[in-house]
Amino acid sequence: MTRRKLIAGNWKMNCYKEAGVSLALEIARRYKALSTPSFDVFMAPPFTLLDAVVQATKGTGVWIGAQDCAVEEKGAHTGDVSPEMIKDLGCGGVIVGHSERRADHGETDTLVKEKAKAALRAGLGVIICVGETLQEREAGQALAVVGQQLKGSVPEEAEAGKVVIAYEPVWAIGTGKTPTSADVQEMHAFMRQTLTDMLGSETAQKMQLLYGGSVKPNNAAELLSLPDVDGALIGGASLKADDFWAIAETQLQK
């Protein structure tokens, strides 16, 4: 089964307008220059830049999305942004369940699943994040924790092409540390098996599973060559066009 690779950037709470728009323009320009790209590119700027980035990248084939969404469609929810509003801007997707939201805002698997369902309701693609802490890995619980997160966070109606899973070990995010390739492949194969049990083998075989956590130009080729790794979710290195593009370029002619 060949699954199309997805190179995704999560800008987190970074970038003001001018720098953010020029970063997006630069990536979109390079992507558009490829005649038949064999991979997809996704960028998730902060809410404040979504509209400007969508406008700047229109017609380039780059996919833009938000980093979070509310469950409700509209109403008395001060400060929240609904997936319908994100869709209304021209976005194609949203990230839910990032470990920083789970940690900073107490988001549970149940809430993450509700957000994922809301995103699907609005017609957005959704990237659902899972990943264990260092303590959980050292206690030998990484697979069990991620298995539970998948069961709790992925909606029953999830379909390949609409739902993407990102495995991001918490201890690898922003630290420069990554699991060994063997550990990443073990986790991704385990996730695919868990998704097979949950959603059936056809869906699980087609579903894109990303790796995230200190993906850099110097380790991307190896991580992205693992059989069950279908792309990367990139934080720090997505903020520099050259670094992000160097990661994407590992997928040229593949």
The catalytic residues are 98, 168
- Number of neighbours of residue 212 by Cβ within 10 angstroms: 26
Q: How many CB atoms lie within 10 A of CB 75?
A: 8
95 strand-pairing partners:
127
Whose Cβ is closer to ligand 13P: residue 65's or residue 212's?
A: 212
45 is an interface residue for ligand 13P by CB under 6 A: no
Which residues are registered as beta bridge partners of 66? 94
Q: What number of residues does the chain have?
A: 254
Q: Pick the stretch among 24-32, 54-62, 200-208, 235-243 that binds ligand 13P (CB under 6 A).
A: 235-243
Number of residues in contact with ligand 13P under rule CB under 6 A: 14
Residue 140 tokens, joined: 């030998």
Q: Which of 27, 43, 118, 234 binds ligand 13P (CB under 6 A)?
A: 234
Q: Is 233 in the site for ligand 13P (CB under 6 A)?
A: yes
Q: Nearest Cα to 53, choosing from 44, 232, 32? A: 44
- End-to-end, the C-alpha distance of the chain in Å comes to 14
Binding mask 126-165 for ligand 13P (x = CB under 6 A): ----------------------------------------
Work out which of 61, 123, 161, 174 binds ligand 13P, going by CB under 6 A: 174
DSSP characters for 171-210?
Answer: GGTTTS----HHHHHHHHHHHHHHHHHHH-HHHHHHS-EE
Of 93 and 212, which has the nearer Cβ to ligand 13P?
Answer: 212
Per CB under 6 A, which region of 21-29, 72-80, 148-156, 208-216 contacts ligand 13P?
208-216
Pick the closer one to ligand 13P by CB: 202 or 242: 242
Greatest distance between any 2 Cα atoms in the chain? 49
* Residues making contact with ligand 13P (CB under 6 A): 10, 98, 168, 173-174, 212-215, 233-237
